[in-house]
């Protein structure tokens, strides 16, 4: 490739320097302003809102844990279980009283000895290890944990989010008597979300490790929404979901707006508290001013580079065209034919695709030049080249081989090459090449054909086609001959 001129290289160099300096200056100014504004959000507004709501949530969650701990330590429960659960109504009344005093939506006790599920409304069922709905009990029993808190919609047909706290009940020897539990809703917490959102101008969500929204402002209901499917949030969800240590702030864009997100993991519920804040308008203005300035500089510089590239490409195409195209006839030259032959050989070796070479010579071309002049001779060559182009297929190749000779690479066997040769010969004879000074001019061509065979070089095939051409001339010209011994296919 031709090297760029010194002037062009200097223009490109200066353009790059100016662009770098402009982007660096504006980028530093933008980063400083952006960092100051985001620092206010990161270290004051978002953390204050997140931590305040987190403390509210912790206080609310301590209530069921304290209540179920008291049940687990209650000697009345121990004595009743150890006595063989003779009066089952006693436990039901106990659970009902607990539910009435605490305001929980559900209180229950599962006996290890009998498998009965006592509820404040009565005996619900007998647990079985084969029942998938009872798997929670056996999983918790074998975990060895003293208590566990879980967010679920179990027992809530309306989709209300409930927090269930399970606690092991053991006797003095550490033997398992059963599992006590209470259930509460997050409705109160969810209603507080709206107040916080209004006060701080943020959006607050409770999200499970799988990304499902468990509560939003004012509903307290489990939704089918997954933040991995929400525009913008899906780009950052995998950065904190399933993680216990998360970054202070995440940023994402959706709908042309930019948002900041702070996250805190709530281990008791195994969920995440998300506080989302739209970026300040001041930051948006700074960003757009930076983008406008940068866009203007890029447009101007791209115009300069574009003009240079277009000019270089134009002249490079001219050079490339001159390197492979015959200037007079527009057919390929020997260099172009060498490339076509190499590709045809590759297809032959890979796919067994046959091809033939067809050499055609304008009969008595020297006499045409001597009698009618070189201008008329050039007109004849142009006409022959045009007929050849029209007579071959798209995947065949045409090149001017010498002064009055053309060579055609025909994909296919001898029969295909013969058909092309006869078509060219007939059309050359029918064409009118006459000028005012060359009336009665008659042009004929002779053709020689040879097929490529494994192990042949280009010179081998050309030599056989050239020998066939000599036979055509010896036979009186204006005819087509095939090299002896060629396969008839």
Q: Give the Cα separation of 220 and 162 in Å (integer).
A: 9
Q: Give the Cα separation of 312 and 60 in Å (integer).
A: 73
Q: Tens digit of pLDDT for each residue in 334-357?
A: 888 999 999 999 999 999 999 999
Q: Give the Cα separation of 321 and 336 in Å (integer).
A: 10
Q: Give the least confident one: 254-268, 298-312, 386-400.
A: 298-312
| C-alpha closest to that of 449 among 435, 439, 463 | 463
Above 90 in pLDDT, residue 372? no
The answer to whether the pTM exceeds 0.95 is no
Question: In which band, very low, low, confident or very high, does the pLDDT at 424 lie, cut at 50, 70 and 90?
Answer: very high
pLDDT value for 56: 76
CA 139 to chain centre: 41
The pLDDT mean for the chain works out to 83
Q: Tens digit of pLDDT for each residue in 43-102?
A: 777 777 788 778 877 777 788 888 889 988 998 999 898 888 888 999 999 999 998 888
pLDDT value for 155: 47
Q: Give the Cα separation of 228 and 238 in Å (integer).
A: 8
DSSP labels for 182-246?
A: EEEESHHHHHHHHHHHHHHT-EEEEE-TTSBEEE-TTT-B--S-BGGGSTTGGGTHHHHTT-SS-
Question: In which band, very low, low, confident or very high, does the pLDDT at 451 lie, cut at 50, 70 and 90?
Answer: very high
Of 358 and 159, more confident? 358
- List the catalytic residues: 404
Q: Give the least confident one: 137-151, 298-312, 375-389.
A: 298-312
pLDDT value for 303: 77
Place of tokens 């404040």: 120
């Amino acid at each position: 490739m031709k090297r760029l001129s010194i002037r062009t290289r200097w223009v490109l160099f200066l353009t790059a320097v100016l662009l770098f300096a402009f982007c660096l200056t504006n980028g530093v100014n933008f980063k400083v302003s952006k960092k100051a504004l985001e620092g206010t959000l990161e270290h004051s507004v978002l953390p204050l809102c997140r931590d305040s709501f987190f403390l509210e949530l912790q206080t609310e969650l301590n209530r069921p844990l304290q209540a179920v701990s008291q049940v687990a330590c209650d000697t009345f429960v121990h004595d009743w279980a150890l006595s063989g659960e003779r009066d089952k109504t006693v436990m039901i009344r106990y659970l009902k009283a607990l539910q009435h005093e605490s305001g929980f939506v559900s209180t229950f006790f599962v006996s290890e000895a009998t498998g009965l599920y006592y509820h404040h409304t009565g005996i619900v069922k007998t647990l079985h290890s084969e029942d998938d709905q009872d798997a929670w009990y056996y999983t918790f029993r074998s975990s060895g944990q003293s208590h566990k808190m879980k967010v679920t919609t179990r027992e809530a047909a309306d989709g209300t989010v409930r927090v269930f706290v399970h606690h092991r009940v053991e006797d003095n020897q550490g033997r398992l008597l059963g599992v006590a539990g209470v259930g509460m809703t997050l409705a109160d917490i969810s209603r507080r979300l709206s107040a916080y959102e209004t006060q701080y101008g943020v959006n607050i969500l409770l999200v499970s490790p799988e990304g499902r929204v468990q509560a939003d402002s004012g509903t307290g209901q489990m939704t089918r929404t997954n933040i991995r499917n929400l525009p913008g949030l899906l780009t950052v969800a995998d950065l904190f979901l399933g993680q216990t240590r998360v970054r202070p702030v995440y940023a994402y864009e959706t709908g042309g707006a930019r948002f900041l997100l702070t996250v805190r993991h709530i281990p008791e519920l195994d969920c995440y508290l998300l506080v989302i804040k739209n970026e300040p308008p001041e930051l948006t203005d700074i960003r757009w001013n930076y983008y406008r300035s940068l866009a203007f500089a890029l447009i101007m510089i791209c115009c300069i580079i574009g003009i240079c590239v277009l000019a270089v490409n134009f002249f490079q195409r001219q050079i490339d065209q001159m390197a492979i195209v015959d200037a007079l006839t527009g057919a390929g030259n020997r260099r172009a034919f060498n490339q076509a032959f190499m590709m045809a050989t590759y297809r032959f070796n890979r796919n067994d695709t046959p091809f033939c070479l067809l050499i055609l010579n304008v009969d008595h071309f020297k006499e045409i030049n001597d009698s009618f002049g070189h201008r008329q001779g050039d007109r004849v060559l142009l006409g022959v080249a045009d007929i050849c182009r029209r007579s071959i297929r798209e995947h065949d190749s045409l090149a001017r081989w010498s002064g009055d000779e053309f060579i055609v690479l025909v994909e296919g066997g001898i029969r295909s090459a013969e058909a092309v040769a006869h078509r060219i010969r007939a059309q050359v004879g029918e064409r009118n090449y006459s000028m005012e000074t060359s009336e009665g001019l008659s042009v004929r061509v002779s053709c020689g054909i040879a097929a490529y065979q494994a192990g042949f070089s280009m010179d081998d095939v050309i030599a056989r086609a050239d020998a066939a051409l000599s036979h055509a001339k010896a036979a009186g010209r204006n005819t087509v001959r095939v090299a002896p011994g060629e396969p008839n296919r």
